[in-house]
Amino acid sequence: MCSIAIARLVCHLRWLCLLLLLWGMVACAAPTPTSSPAAPAPEAEPPITLVFWHAWPSPEQHVLGTLVERYNQSHSDTQILLQAMPIANLTSELRTAALVGSGPHLVLLQSHTLGTLAAEGLILPLDETLFTPAERASVLATALQSAQVTLAEDEAVLYGVPLTFDTLALYYQQSQFTPLPTTMTGLLQEARALTDLNQQPPHWGLALTLSLDKTIAYLPAFGGQIMDEQGELVMVTTGQAGTERWLEWQLALRNDARILAVSDSIAVDSAIRSQAAHMTIDWSHALPIYRALWGADLGVAPLPPLEPDGAVPRPYVQSDVLSIGARVTDPREQQAALDFARYLLSSEAQQELLGAGQQPVLTSLALTDDLPDGAAAQVFRTQAQQGQAMPNQAVYNAIVYPELQRMQQSVLRGLTMPGDAVPQTDQIVRERIETTRP
């Protein structure tokens, strides 16, 4: 019995081992469960490269390069490639590049060129979602206006971000004017007294170029007007009498033997550079020239009114505007371009531009006397706040401005009387504008 039990136990053990072996084989043959593959990590977006055209000379070009380099170092996702262009060819090169679908992403333009470029579709408009009302409010108002373009019957639209501005002021030797007269009438009397015709070359109290850009500030002071706010010609309606008085005033200056007031800018520049003139009217970008000539004796003042209660002169204000090229249709590129523009509007960048001789548009920048030419910058800002944005309409640049220049020079040369010159010019301008309409 015992042997039979043992035999049965051995048999059972064999079956148990066989079952365990079969179970192990099945388990090994079964597919091994696998974990789901991890989702691939999103690819990082490639850095954006923006080509930036400009036509600034030195030292402005140097400080612009420094600002670009500083921006690139702190923005690994955006790189700005700065490319200098000749000022005479900048807009024509922009047109040529656009024909083949290339050109810059960013371009620094003089504001008076914006109207034509906007009409040709070469630069992009900036609505208030791209450049907000708060950002616009931080910019000098006349500089902002100079960057706005009105096409056809539309409202004015911003076509770039103003970075710096240029306007006119009075440059004089402080030692010769103590104190400086507060009206143009008083200033002219003082200038006549300072003139010495016996010296060789003659020494002038005032040397003034009778060009349109350097005299048009006084057109509103005489009640003259060329175009109204809607861009309509009003030279022979509301503006005729004042425009004639403005021309007569210039003619009187031209005929004044003790004032060097001529159309020849070379004669005026020669007198100033040879230290034979004590005072002039010029653009703010010319400040380094007068600083080199007169040193600590240099004075800068706003243009004086004609009389104590007279209207404030309103010189042109032109801006250097950072515009976005029409090729920039990618929203990422547009935002990168605007981020760079905001950087150039920062207090740090605006102060750097001031140090290079450019006038900053950021109104919150404190223009203290310890800044480079801070006192002069205060004068330029005040003058620009009182000034008028230089027109940028295509019709103004192509027709109105050249005809105004011809009118002015015709009167100064004695070829036409002011009373005839104004209606004649108005008629010519209207006829030329009519021929351009489709």
Beta strand 260-262 with 207-209 is parallel
Helix (H) or strand (E) segment spanning residue 173: strand 168-173
Look at residue 108 and give its three-state secondary structure. strand
Asked if pLDDT for residue 276 goes beyond 90, the answer is yes
Q: How many domains does the chain have?
A: 2
Helix (H) or strand (E) segment spanning residue 249: helix 240-254
Average pLDDT over residues 92-99: 92
Using a 10 angstrom Cβ sphere, with 0-12 exposed, 13-18 middle and 19 or more buried, the burial of residue 198 is exposed
**Do residues 53 and 148 both lie within one domain?**
yes
Asked if pLDDT for residue 87 goes beyond 70, the answer is yes
Average pLDDT over residues 328-342: 96
- Per the CB < 8 A criterion, the answer to whether 143 and 319 are in contact is yes
What's the distance, Cα to Cα, between the start and end of the chain in Å? Answer: 127
Average pLDDT over residues 263-276: 96
Domain that holds residue 325: 48-165+317-389
Average pLDDT over residues 389-405: 95
Asked if pLDDT for residue 438 goes beyond 80, the answer is no
**Do residues 205 and 268 both lie within one domain?**
yes
Beta strand 106-110 with 148-149 is unpaired
Asked if pLDDT for residue 5 goes beyond 50, the answer is no
- Per the CB < 8 A criterion, the answer to whether 345 and 338 are in contact is no
**Do residues 91 and 136 both lie within one domain?**
yes
**Do residues 232 and 332 both lie within one domain?**
no
**Do residues 357 and 378 both lie within one domain?**
yes
Task: Give the span between the Cα atoms of 353 and 108, in whole angstroms.
Answer: 14
**Do residues 95 and 229 both lie within one domain?**
no
**Do residues 304 and 410 both lie within one domain?**
yes
Pick the range with the lowest mean pLDDT from 34-48, 287-301, 347-361, 381-395.
34-48
**Do residues 290 and 430 both lie within one domain?**
yes
**Do residues 207 and 161 both lie within one domain?**
no
**What pLDDT score was predicted for residue 1?**
41
Half-sphere exposure of 317 (CA within 13 A, CB side): 29
**Do residues 124 and 257 both lie within one domain?**
no
361 domain residue, yes or no: yes
- Per the CB < 8 A criterion, the answer to whether 387 and 312 are in contact is no
344 domain residue, yes or no: yes
Look at residue 54 and give its three-state secondary structure. strand
196 domain residue, yes or no: yes
Cα–Cα separations (whole angstroms), residue 207 to 258, 320, 420: 10, 28, 28
Choose one of 372, 389, 406: the last residue of a domain.
389
**Which DSSP string corresponds to 259-321?**
SEEES-HHHHHHHHHTT-BSEEEEEGGGHHHHHHHHGGGEEEEPPPPSSTTSPPP--EEEEEE
Helix (H) or strand (E) segment spanning residue 10: helix 2-29
pTM of this structure: 0.88
**What pLDDT score was predicted for residue 43?**
65
Nearest Cα neighbor of 250 from 214, 301, 294 is 214
**What pLDDT score was predicted for residue 230?**
75
Per-residue b/e over 216-246, b at no fewer than 16 CB within 10 Å? bbbbbbbbbbbbeeeeebbbbeebbebbbbb
**What pLDDT score was predicted for residue 45?**
77
29 domain residue, yes or no: no
- Per the CB < 8 A criterion, the answer to whether 345 and 249 are in contact is no
Asked if pLDDT for residue 16 goes beyond 70, the answer is no
Task: Give the span between the Cα atoms of 142 and 106, in whole angstroms.
Answer: 22
**Which token pair is 377?**
């910058």
- Per the CB < 8 A criterion, the answer to whether 253 and 408 are in contact is no
Domain of 158, CATH number, reads 3.40.190.10
DSSP-assigned beta bridge partners for residue 83: 53
What one-letter code names the amino acid at 291?
R
Going 362 to 63 to 325 to 319, the CA torsion angle's sign is positive
Choose one of 374, 389, 404: the last residue of a domain.
389
**Do residues 247 and 369 both lie within one domain?**
no
94 domain residue, yes or no: yes
Q: Looking at mean pLDDT, say which of 11-15, 369-373, 374-378 comes out highest.
A: 374-378
Half-sphere exposure of 97 (CA within 13 A, CB side): 20
Choose one of 389, 408, 425: the last residue of a domain.
389
- Per the CB < 8 A criterion, the answer to whether 161 and 345 are in contact is yes
**Do residues 142 and 189 both lie within one domain?**
no
pLDDT band of residue 169 (cuts 50, 70, 90) is very high
Vertex 330: Cα angle to 324 and 334 (nearest 5): 40
Nearest Cα neighbor of 240 from 222, 214, 213, 218 is 222
